A and B are shown apart, each in its own frame.
Chain A
Amino acid sequence: MTSTRAPWVLLGPACLAGALALLPLGYLAVRALERGAGFAWSVVTTETTALLMGRSLALAAVVVPACLLLGISLAWLTVRTALPGARAWAVAVTLPLAVPSYVAAFAWLSAVPGIAGFAGSAVTLTLVSYPYVYLPVTAALRGIDPAQEEASRSLGAGPARTFFRVTLPQLRPAAAGGALLVALYALSDFGAVSLMRYDTFTRGIYTSYQASFDRTPAAALSVVLVVMTVALVALETRTRGRRGHARTGSGTARPPVPVPLGRTAAPALAWCGTVVAVAVAFPLATLAYWLATGNRSTWDPAGLANTAGVTLAVAAAGAGLTAALALPVGVVAARHRGRLPDLLEQAAYAGHALPGITVALAMVFFAVRYAAPLYQELPLLVCAYAVLFLPLAVAATRAAVLQSPPVLEDVARSLGRGPLGVLRAVTVPLAAPGVAAGTALTFVVCMKELPATLLLRPTGMDTLATRLWTETGVASYADAAPYAAALILLAAVPSYLLGRQRT
């Protein structure tokens, strides 16, 4: 770990990214305290608030372990065992990333109306968010030296004991990072819980806008959400500890010998198959059903293609900006220690647990005052995406940078490259696969984003998500199905690449 101070060419942009991510907090402070701290406190300390918080935490408390179970088991099966068709499964189990939570929720509701409520919310959120655990754990599993597991076996530990005593502890940082993202997803999701009619904290914030047309209580509640986020991030940082992830020792690790599954092959296949069936095939089948039963007159391929193009472009811009902002933060977080680097990394998470509408209103607040020409123009929407999804890209960048040894950067400095030159010639090219993976992930979530897009999009612009929202607002889901299908299929492309990549 390099202990020198981070150079300004990195710290400057990183601080900029941190400041952008903290914008919603500034807005929340203004709004929450508008009628005095006493009022905000009285909003926050009601019984309802406590109840909603309890329900949100309960949801996270179920979704996170479920995602850990799914993510880790699937990662192990696809990476380390002789699972038939492991490569194909690796791709298939990543695809739920492409399914928006509201589409999944609707599919479940239409098939099993009785699932509404806590159970439905938990099932839906688990099935759409477990890839956040699966992806980093897969990468970590590939990085583990199989010699350690062999040593464990030779010391008399069976496969199960070896997995729990040797393998699992090493997966902890990756799994904890993924669990954090899942927890924040569960806390901030609105689409699934509102369809499932399960009142969570985020739904409370939305209802507060909807029901009282009053931004002060909503802001006060959002602050609570930020506090929960900070607590979760701190928790995750503690599990991460100070250790570096770069493999020590020399030589390329041998590729592990896949664990033969023997008689457990059938259950393992059934497990993977079930997950893919309920998380991917089932929502797709529901959409197919809607498409088949839909009214052909509303079918507008040209409009759909146009909207798809706009969606891709906007999501690409969002992912591009997010990745660009995440790069300095991720590099600083990976290579430098100290209060400022730690703070920067945590700041990146500030906007992530906030409901999209809160972040959007914060952008409205600042833009109309200080950046009027940008208001309701694309750059502002793209900035909102960056605020919302920065942690996804930061986590990916940080992990990618950690994978290459810092000595390479030292050598590059000694050969006459300045900090920026080193970044360009060594750090970024080496971290590129991981950074690209983070960018692809951001791209997928940008495509699915709805609340901020609705408020901040240039007037007249539509993405697949807003179109989907419009269509479900007027008529049957059959009219919305083409947009939902297009959204899932387009988002499946980067998800597919994420599932295929081998770092």
Chain B
Amino acid sequence: MTDLRIEGLTKAYGPDATVLDGLDLTVPGGSLAAVLGPSGCGKTTLLRIIAGFLRADAGTVAVGGRVLTGPGAHVPPERRRIGIVPQEGALFPHLSVARNVAFGVPDRAARRRRTEEMLELVGLAGYGGRMPHELSGGQQQRVALARALAPEPALVLLDEPFNALDSALRTGLRADVRAALRALGATALLVTHDQQEALSVADLVAVVHDGRVAQCGSPQDVYTRPADPWLAGFVGDAVLLPGTAGNGTATTALGPVKVRSGETSGRGTVILRPEQLRLTEPGDTTPGGTVTDVRYYGHDAMITLTVDGLDEPVDIRVAGHVPLRPGDRTGIHITGQATFHQR
């Protein structure tokens, strides 16, 4: 198993256009890491540097201990053993599915067998003779994955591979891709701006912001313990409340809440997830607010309220039945623990 180590990676396109600013990232062998970031955060640049299409200004990229990009070293893309699955697949339109998959397999003798194995792995056995334009979008992506995996790469890069697909197809394909990568024990890096995708697929999520990894951890870690309010807002919906912390508890307009890191104290921001807020009967002593909007998603719903004593509205996610309408008064109750971010 090969791990990916990135240290101090820096890339600028001009004096005022620093895209990567000393980025560090380690992905253990065999795991699937998601690089999550907003558009323009440098994740595409990162991917292109790892793949060897771009040269870095500084820093190193090593896969399995082999330095691919580093001071004075630049291994050309074709000798990196890094497979990529681009957006929309980018299958070679002039080659059949089988020849696409076989494209990177150097061993002629093994080519045919390997191609069949890979197509079977991605659930497209028997499609070898088709041309790319005869496949659906999802099938094209599967072929692209098979093609990237066929040469047994040390690392697979997936560049927003599910972007162009409709949501129903996306979920199934994500699971299949994950299963295929697992089956081969491949180390993989998925670049995406979709936090749901990152959280649901990856073993490890690295959020990139301003050219650095702002936070890196398991999906649950990143979701429940955002390192700062921006991260909280980027990785999912967040409720940010001004508060004062002390003795493991923070006081907010919605009442007291336990905070995770006990030592913090003073004024700051209390970070919660909308599903941590519950609706209660309105009362004079309990914190409460007025419903301004209800958005119904089917499996759950989001309710927006204005809270007495707060400038910003607050979102609450409720499962199932929505008992309220805009204009109704309701009480609010906080459950679980919050993350406190000192100002």
Contacts and interface: CB of A to CB of B under 8 A. Distances in A.
Interface of A: 2-4, 250, 252, 404-405, 407-408, 410-418, 421, 425-426, 429-430
6 contacts: A4-B55, A410-B53, A411-B147, A412-B103, A415-B147, A417-B78
B54 A3 contact: yes
Contacts of B76: 413, 418
Contacts of A416: 78-79, 81, 104, 106, 151
A153 to B, nearest CB: 27
Contacts of B151: 415-416
A119 to B, nearest CB: 49
Contact of B86 (A2, A410, A421, A425): A410
Contacts of B84: 410-411, 414
Contact of B94 (A405, A414, A418, A430): A430
A252 B140 CA distance: 14
A250 B78 contact: no
Contacts, number: 72
A3 B86 CA distance: 18
A426 B94 CA distance: 8
B78 A4 contact: no
B88 interface: yes
Contacts of B92: 408, 411-412, 425-426, 430
A4 B103 contact: no
A252 B151 CA distance: 30
Nearest to B164: A250
Contacts of B52: 413-414
B77 to A, nearest CB: 4
Interface string B51-80: 111110000000000000000000011111
Contact of B93 (A3, A407, A413, A430): A430
A408 B93 CA distance: 9
B90 A413 contact: no
B77 A413 contact: yes
Contacts of B90: 405, 407-408, 410-411
Given A3-B54, A415-B103, A416-B106, A410 B77 contact: yes
Closest 6 CB pairs of A and B: A415-B104, A413-B77, A407-B90, A414-B84, A429-B94, A416-B78
Given A405-B90, A413-B52, A416-B81, 8 more contacts: A4-B53, A250-B88, A410-B53, A410-B84, A411-B84, A415-B78, A415-B151, A416-B106
A414 B78 contact: yes
Nearest to A417: B78
A4 B51 contact: no
A413 B86 CA distance: 13
A426 B88 CA distance: 17
Given A405-B90, A407-B90, A429-B94, A414 B54 contact: no
B18 to A, nearest CB: 16
Interface in B81-106: 81-84, 86-88, 90, 92-94, 103-104, 106
A418 B80 CA distance: 11
Interface string B137-155: 0000000000110010000
Interface residues of B, number: 31
Q: Describe B's contact surface by its main secondary structure.
A: loop
Nearest to A432: B94
Given A250-B164, A413-B78, A414-B83, A425 B55 contact: no
A4 B54 contact: yes
B187 to A, nearest CB: 15
Query: Max chain A CB contacts within 10 Å: which of B87, B92, B164?
Result: B92
Interface string B90-124: 10111000000001101000000000000000000
A327 B151 CA distance: 30
B82 A414 contact: yes
Contact of B53 (A2, A250, A408): A2
A468 to B, nearest CB: 41
Nearest to B81: A416
Contacts of A429: 94
A408 B147 CA distance: 12
A429 B83 CA distance: 22
Query: Max chain B CB contacts within 10 Å: which of A405, A408, A410, A411?
Result: A411
Contacts of B77: 410, 413-414
Contacts of A3: 54
Nearest to A418: B78
Nearest to B86: A407
A191 to B, nearest CB: 41
Contact of A414 (B51, B55, B87, B88): B51
A469 B60 CA distance: 68
Nearest to B104: A415
Contacts of B104: 414-417
Nearest to B94: A429
A41 B90 CA distance: 56
A84 B79 CA distance: 55
B159 to A, nearest CB: 9
Contacts of B164: 250
B103 A425 contact: yes
A213 to B, nearest CB: 55
Contacts of B79: 416
Interface string B176-188: 0000000000000
Query: Max chain B CB contacts within 10 Å: which of A2, A408, A421?
Result: A408
A415 B53 CA distance: 13
Contacts of B88: 250
Nearest to B157: A414
B80 A414 contact: yes
Contacts of A404: 93
Nearest to A7: B76
Nearest to A426: B92
B313 to A, nearest CB: 36
Contacts of B103: 412, 415, 417, 425
Nearest to B147: A415
Contacts of B106: 416
A425 B99 CA distance: 11
B94 A413 contact: no
A417 B92 CA distance: 14
Contacts of B48: 410
Nearest to B77: A413
A12 B343 CA distance: 59
Contacts of A425: 92, 103
Contacts of A4: 53-55
A410 B47 CA distance: 12
Query: Max chain B CB contacts within 10 Å: which of A408, A413, A414?
Result: A414
B165 to A, nearest CB: 10
A4 B45 CA distance: 12
Contacts of A415: 78, 83, 103-104, 147-148, 151
Query: Max chain A CB contacts within 10 Å: which of B104, B148, B157?
Result: B104
Interface in B302-334: none
